[in-house]
A and B are shown apart, each in its own frame.
Chain A
Amino acid sequence: MAVDAETVRRIGKLARIRVEEDEVAGYQSELNAILGFVEQLNEVDVSGVEPMTSVTPMQLRQREDKVTSGGHPDLIVVNAPLSEDNFFMVPKVVE
């Protein structure tokens, strides 16, 4: 499977990374090099094989359903590029 220029633009949209027109060809050839490399996985017979979900046999722990931290919104926003009254500020999203 190889990606074309249109697919590169679409992936950029999905990944929310602006791909400028003069970058498309470069990404296309790099992505195709990687996809060409992983192509060899098709040689492997995987019939009846379970996909790995956990690399060590473990059960995910559960904890009591209660609040264990919080109450410090000032610390949450302290690294934000833009905040006001402990809210993250973003460009307007609804008209």
Chain B
Amino acid sequence: MTDLTKLNLAATRDGLKNRDFTSLEVTEAYLSAIETANPKLNAYIEVTAQQAREMAEQSDHKLNSRDGGPLEGVPLGIKDLFATRHVHTQAASHILKDFKPEYESRVTQNLWDDGAVMLGKLNMDEFAMGSSNETSHYGPVVNPWREEGGNKDLVPGGSSGGSAAAVSSWLCAAATATDTGGSIRQPAALTGTVGIKPTYGRCSRWGIVAFASSLDQAGPIARTVEDAAIMLTSMAGFDPMDSTSADLAVPDFAAAVERGVNGLTIGVPREYRMDGMPEEIEKLWHEGLEWLKAEGAQIKDISLPHTKYALPAYYIVAPAEASSNLARYDGVKYGLRVAGKDITDMYELTRAEGFGREVKRRVMIGTYVLSAGYYDAYYVRAQKVRTLIKRDFELAFADGVDAILTPATPSAAFGIADQEMNSDPVKMYLNDIFTVTVNMAGLPGIAVPAGKDHRGLPLGLQLIGKPFDEETLFAAGRVIEKAAGGGFEPSDWWSA
């Protein structure tokens, strides 16, 4: 039999429906691949083998009687940020030590309702704070991609680094992820996978460990645009448990994938042409525009004048919200407790030991910008700038632009423990320079693999859409995927 883990999600789903193979067979194939690869890649921090087998058997039972949901029997990986009932849910943080929730996140419940099988929980940056998956309490994830002829370990991006690495190395058919400033799209770009952050409100945040509530959105990382569309259709939907959940019908996103871009207007924002941007990124961007043009799209130069202020505004808004959201980790209700001489001492010692350095840094920045005397100068000003960033996009869309094409990241994957990135927090933050505007404006954005750099590492392009128009992103993303011609599979060094 062919290696079942090499089938993409759509083919897995079809093969299961046709009973070419069973869910238990696919699940066992993935579990055995994980057992081999995980000691090297560190993508999973908890493998739920027993539960996976039980879910697969139930799916097979349904499939045998021609029953079952759209994802019946398909094995998935789940980012550790999603609450999964009675299963490891720690946001890759030490402060949530041993936490096993009594409830299920809405997004994962939607996936189980549609028949999917859970393989385990995926590694990530602690509390989704990071762009390299190096802030995890469980150690860094290794990118399945290496430079041609090289054997240096590279980062998979972050914060959904485990999701991206697992999808790219065939350790799940697709994965859930979350994106607060680029945490789906940047790792997707760095691993040659497809990642979409839907419009704010499209997926329920219920049961997702909160980082920055006005920016957080769930979305999938998958191997193809079609797979991402199938995943998002199941993940999305209105949920009364999330007060910002959009009460809108979820379209069949997969139906939009082959729609093409004929007659669409694609905007090219001049502000994304950054000083010092590598020539190969510039070239790839240009190529992407040519591909869209060849399929009948019109290209239009646009201006998003407040682009350069998105990242600094983000580094006020996100830490401010984080400092408030993370106040709940106090050593009382769940997770780690470090004893102290009184209750304040206990709080301080618990949080000092439970949070990693990056998380502490962000909580402290957030605490500072919200503190008396600084609130207006920092927080209110940043929220005003955010209004301007969103207005830039609104004006472009009102002017007839259907979607916007930009690079996804300023570079391909970099080395683990990169000196330059680790010596200056701002350098690491610049990874999100092209993605963070989208969160600030609440828009949907998709990253699609489009080319490779001079070392043979994957590079992605990003498409940004109008609110709740993910369909156009899938259609245009598919055009880029086809034109790029594939080849975004790493060579397998981890099973040797």
**Stretch of B47-55, B189-197, B374-382 at the chain-chain interface:** B374-382
**Stretch of B356-364, B409-417, B483-491 at the chain-chain interface:** B356-364
A53 neighbours in B (Cβ, 8 Å): 383
Interface string of A19-38 (1 = CB under 8 A from B): 11000000100110111011
Q: Which A residues between 3 and 60 are near B, CB-CB below 8 angstroms? A: 3, 7-8, 11-12, 14-20, 27, 30-31, 33-35, 37-44, 46, 49-56, 58, 60
Say if the beta carbon of B21 comes within 8 Å of chain A.
no
Task: Check A17 against B343 for contact (C-beta < 8 Å).
Answer: no
Q: Which B residues between 421 and 444 are near A, CB-CB below 8 angstroms? A: 424-426, 429, 440-442
- Contact partner of B351 (CB less than 8 A), chosen from A15, A51, A52, is A15
Take A58-B246, A91-B340 as given contacts and tell me if A79 and B100 are in contact as well, using a CB distance cutoff of 8 Å. yes
The majority secondary structure among interface residues of chain A is loop
Task: Check B200 against A55 for contact (C-beta < 8 Å).
Answer: yes
Interface residue count for B (Cβ, 8 Å)? 74
- Contact partner of B315 (CB less than 8 A), chosen from A20, A27, A34, A42, is A34
Say if the beta carbon of B332 comes within 8 Å of chain A.
yes
A50 neighbours in B (Cβ, 8 Å): 384, 387
A67 neighbours in B (Cβ, 8 Å): none
Interface bin, chain A: 35 or more
Take A34-B315, A52-B383 as given contacts and tell me if A93 and B360 are in contact as well, using a CB distance cutoff of 8 Å. no
Docked pose: A41 CA to B371 CA in angstroms: 18
B378's nearest neighbour on chain A, judged by CB, is A38
Which of B330, B336, B381, B384 has the most chain A CB within a 10 Å cutoff?
Answer: B384
Take A14-B371, A37-B426, A51-B383 as given contacts and tell me if A90 and B346 are in contact as well, using a CB distance cutoff of 8 Å. yes
B364 neighbours in A (Cβ, 8 Å): 8, 11-12, 15, 17, 27, 31
Say if the beta carbon of A61 comes within 8 Å of chain B.
yes
- Contact partner of A41 (CB less than 8 A), chosen from B99, B355, B381, is B381
A40's nearest neighbour on chain B, judged by CB, is B312
Say if the beta carbon of B367 comes within 8 Å of chain A.
yes
Task: Check A1 against B377 for contact (C-beta < 8 Å).
Answer: yes
Say if the beta carbon of B130 comes within 8 Å of chain A.
no
Which of B199, B244, B247 has the most chain A CB within a 10 Å cutoff?
Answer: B244
Docked pose: A87 CA to B382 CA in angstroms: 41
Task: Check A40 against B337 for contact (C-beta < 8 Å).
Answer: no
Task: Check A56 against B442 for contact (C-beta < 8 Å).
Answer: yes
A-B contact pairs, 25 of them (CB 8 A): A15-B367, A17-B364, A20-B352, A31-B364, A34-B361, A38-B313, A41-B381, A44-B306, A44-B381, A44-B384, A46-B384, A51-B387, A52-B384, A55-B215, A55-B441, A56-B199, A56-B246, A60-B243, A79-B98, A79-B100, A79-B335, A88-B333, A90-B332, A90-B343, A91-B339
* B residues whose Cβ falls under 8 Å from a Cβ of A: 98-102, 199-201, 214-215, 240, 243-244, 246-247, 306, 308-309, 311-313, 315-316, 323, 327, 330-337, 339-340, 342-344, 346-349, 351-352, 355, 360-361, 363-365, 367-368, 371, 374, 377-378, 380-388, 390, 424-426, 429, 440-442, 467
* A residues whose Cβ falls under 8 Å from a Cβ of B: 1, 3, 7-8, 11-12, 14-20, 27, 30-31, 33-35, 37-44, 46, 49-56, 58, 60-61, 63, 75, 78-82, 88, 90-93
The 3 closest A-B pairs by CB, nearest first: A55-B442, A51-B383, A79-B334
